[in-house]
Structure 1
Amino acid sequence: MKNFRISFVLLCSSILFVMCKQPENNQGPTTFEEKVFVVNTVDNDEKLQEYLTYHKQVWPEVEAGFKKAGYKRITLYHFKDLIVMTISVPVGADLDEMGKVAEAHNPKCASWNKLMNTYQKGVNGTEEGEKWVEALPFYEFNN
């Protein structure tokens, strides 16, 4: 029993060391910020349902690309044809660069983006060809 306790303590110590170890660049833990983006789906209920169905089982290669690019969390919401996306990314991240890294991870990532693009259109006020736009905060309540 004593050997088991010693092994258990060593195992726990090793796990704790790995969990608490600072990154090699000694910059400390990464801090994340949340960003919000909006897009509309094309005016077609059948297309909206297809879009929602695809997102019930996002291709594993796509999610692996998100992970490789450094996204912490991506959440999608919808109300009728309005899609709202929140992303959690490292503070100050270059979102264009992150998108390129995610898409370059696997050819299926680019295929996914091309396919999803057929379901989307810009919200009112976007430029020609512009789709996803960042929604900027203008009020916050904290308790």
Structure 2
Amino acid sequence: MYTKIKSRLFLCLLLALFTGAVSCKRSKNTGALEERVFVVTIAPGDEKIRGYLDHHQHIWPEVEAGFKKAGYKKITLSRFDHLVVMSILVPRGANLDSMSKVAESYDKRCAEWNRLMDTYQLGVPGTAPGQKWVEVKPFYTFEH
């Protein structure tokens, strides 16, 4: 029980750090941008996390070309153990479902990549059955 509470507390602190980091940026070429943050858990086992990390060290060029075509400005993946945090920088108000469809339709390898990554991913505690990536919302910000 203590371990479960401790891991949930750590998750909350981690999310607070990531979600409070950047709320928006402005670039003279791209207009207003916003950061969106998501979390997912990688399936248990050293083999699963090693495989997931290895794939991300060798991302297929078609996948990154799809991200560019869809309008993603920056995607950063960070992790603690099997918890993965994804931060994306996109135009303010962007429809992420539409962007995802554009990225996946860029090339058949993009959809293949998503199916492959899906075999590694599990939802975090509190997600609905079958739900994997979940967006987290900021609840505290410090600015100086």
- Give the TM-score normalised by the residue count of structure 1: 0.80
Equivalent residue, structure 2, for 1:109? 110
Can you list the C-alpha shifts for 1:7-44, whole angstroms capped at 9, x where unaligned? Answer: xxxxxxxxxxxxxxx9xxxxx84211001000000011
Equivalent residue, structure 2, for 1:9? none
| Offset, 1:71 | 0.1
Equivalent residue, structure 2, for 1:139? 140
Structure 1 runs (4+) greater than 6 angstroms displaced: none
CA radius of gyration, larger in: 1
Q: Distance in 1 between matches of 2:56 and 2:30?
A: 31
Gaps of 5+ in 2: 1-27
Equivalent residue, structure 1, for 2:61? 60
Alpha-carbon RMSD across the aligned residues, in angstroms, is 1.2
Q: Distance in 2 between matches of 1:119 and 1:135?
A: 20
Identity %: 57
**Between Structure 1 and Structure 2, how many residues are aligned?**
117
Determine helix, strand or coil for the equivalent of 2:78. strand
Equivalent residue, structure 2, for 1:18? none
Q: Distance in 1 between matches of 2:61 and 2:45?
A: 27
Equivalent residue, structure 1, for 2:10? none
Equivalent residue, structure 2, for 1:96? 97
Give 1 or 2: higher strand fraction. Answer: 2
Gaps of 5+ in 1: 1-21, 23-27
Q: Distance in 2 between matches of 1:73 and 1:89?
A: 7
